[in-house]
Amino acid sequence: RKEVEQDPGPFNVPEGATVAFNCTYSNSASQSFFWYRQDCRKEPKLLMSVYSSGNEDGRFTAQLNRASQYISLLIRDSKLSDSATYLCVVKPFWGYQKVTFGTGTKLQVIP
Amino acid sequence: GAGVSQSPSNKVTEKGKDVELRCDPISGHTALYWYRQSLGQGLEFLIYFQGNSAPDKSGLPSDRFSAERTGGSVSTLTIQRTQQEDSAVYLCASSLGPEGRSPLANTGELFFGEGSRLTVL
């Protein structure tokens, strides 16, 4: 089983739609979780951290389910500019920084 | 600029040649990572440096790959006797380093360079 698994998509959604991605992780000792965004032929950039209590940043909501070992990203009112690949990121231990990226979920927002 | 700098941005080489890729991390960042991304694929972890600790080389795909980090700053990834399957974008990232137990003390965000695109003919 891969350390971090994501549905590669693509998810094709109309503008204004709500879309959600899940990401599962295999190491129950994982402590830190993030969503990164990668535009085509660009480097990944941090979108948001994922906290145990869940967190929201504008149209984006991230949640963590430790019991089922997955994190989710919800995007409301999708914009054309949201089209990108969304990468799930997991760190296993406090203080130990090996970072594992999922293969990413591709989102295409259609006019 | 204050970001992660990588060079060369593009490298075309012949099969069997050696290549060196350079990464200059953000000043003050103690952690440095190398990843590889093939076309349409995810990020493949290669190696991780943290301060003066022994690097985590568990992701290096073969003994043709090696990396060093001099003076805790600039890093060089070397690929010997390149093969066509080595063609990919090689991404370097840096971060502040080990975070404390509070998740808010240090987000641990990785800052990526723009990558070095390697093409092996």
Q: What is the pLDDT of residue B101?
A: 39
SS3 content of chain B, % helix, strand, coil (to 5): 5, 45, 50
Asked whether the beta carbons of residue A43 and residue B112 sit closer than 8 angstroms, the reply is yes
Q: For residue A105, with 0-12 CB atoms within 10 Å meaning exposed, 13-18 middle and 19 or more buried, which class applies?
A: buried
The residue whose two tokens read 């995007």 is A75
Mean pLDDT, residues B67-91 taken together: 95
Asked whether the beta carbons of residue B99 and residue A94 sit closer than 8 angstroms, the reply is yes
Are the CB atoms for A91 and A104 separated by under 8 Å? no
Are the CB atoms for B95 and B108 separated by under 8 Å? yes
Asked whether the beta carbons of residue A99 and residue B110 sit closer than 8 angstroms, the reply is yes
Task: Give CA separation, A96 vs A29, A30, A43, A108, B100, in Å.
Answer: 12, 11, 23, 34, 10
Are the CB atoms for B59 and B45 separated by under 8 Å? yes
- Lowest mean pLDDT, pick from B21-25, B71-75, B88-92, B99-103: B99-103
Q: What is the pLDDT of residue A65?
A: 93
Per the document, the length of chain A is: 111
- Lowest mean pLDDT, pick from B15-24, B53-62, B102-111: B102-111
Confidence category of residue B39, pLDDT binned at 50, 70, 90: confident
The first and second tokens of residue A84, run together, are 């990108």
Q: What is the pLDDT of residue B5?
A: 97
Mean pLDDT, residues B81-86 taken together: 97
* Residues facing residue B92 across a β-bridge: B34
Q: What is the tens place of the pLDDT at every residue in B8-34?
A: 999 999 999 999 999 999 998 888 999
Asked whether the beta carbons of residue A43 and residue B100 sit closer than 8 angstroms, the reply is no
pLDDT higher than 70, residue A6: yes
Q: What is the pLDDT of residue B93?
A: 94
The beta-carbon neighbor of A97 closest among B42, B91, B95 is B95
Confidence category of residue A95, pLDDT binned at 50, 70, 90: low
Nearest CA in chain A to B95: A97
Confidence category of residue B51, pLDDT binned at 50, 70, 90: confident
The first and second tokens of residue A13, run together, are 């959604």
Alpha carbons B75 and B91: distance in angstroms, whole number: 12
- Lowest mean pLDDT, pick from A11-15, A69-73, A78-82, A93-97: A93-97
The beta-carbon neighbor of A99 closest among B33, B107, B115 is B33
Q: What is the tens place of the pLDDT at every residue in A31-67?
A: 789 999 999 989 999 999 898 888 999 999 999 999 9
The beta-carbon neighbor of B108 closest among A51, A91, A101 is A91
Mean pLDDT, residues A24-35 taken together: 86
Confidence category of residue A93, pLDDT binned at 50, 70, 90: low
Give the three-state DSSP class for A94. Answer: coil
SS3 content of chain A, % helix, strand, coil (to 5): 5, 55, 45
Q: Does the beta carbon of B9 lie under 8 angstroms from any beta carbon of chain A?
A: no
Q: Give B43's contacts in chain A (Cβ within 8 Å).
A: 44, 87, 101
Q: Give A87's contacts in chain B (Cβ within 8 Å).
A: 42-43
Element at B57 (helix H, strand E): none
- Tell me how many residue pairs between chain A and chain B have CB atoms under 8 A apart: 62
Mean pLDDT, residues B97-118 taken together: 70
